[in-house]
Structure 1
């Protein structure tokens, strides 16, 4: 059988590399959406894109910010933290 390297092996690129940055970008988008909802709670309901009350916008904004932070931390741990060789043997 021929031992021909794949295109990914030859180019040194991996789809996993793209996924790690996509996950980080999505976590930042969630945090940005949460910050926008929190900030827009001070505007009158009629002028906002989201037709929610002030308290509902603050709660939803807080949930989005918390969810974005959790996603960011998990993505960092899974994709960017250097692994110790001793962790692989456990």
Structure 2
């Protein structure tokens, strides 16, 4: 038999959602960092032609920025907007 009450289950779900928000932001930063690394790393580190490396690096940076702004708008901005109304 479970000895947890409903409040404990609700609080656990809330903390998992908060952790997920920050994990998604962390992953956005990882994409931006990986893209930046591909853009500035020496050419001999990768077996990719320089043009391909720049395109892939730019796409990683762009994707990371899009993820960051979408996550921020979805999870953080809505909370502040609802408090102001």
Where does residue 17 of structure 1 map in the other structure? 18
Q: Deviations over 1:7-61 (max 9, x none)?
A: 2446795210000000000000000000000001xx243xx0x310111111110
TM-score by length of 2: 0.78
How many residue pairs align between the two structures?
78
- Decide which of 62, 66, 73 is 1:66's aligned counterpart: 62
Where does residue 31 of structure 2 map in the other structure? 30
Larger helix fraction of residues:
2
RMSD: 2.3
Task: Give the greater-gyration-radius structure (CA).
Answer: 1
User: Which consecutive segments of 4 or more residues in structure 1 shift more than 6 A?
Assistant: none
Q: Which runs of 5+ in 2 are unaligned?
A: none
Q: Which runs of 5+ in 1 are unaligned?
A: none
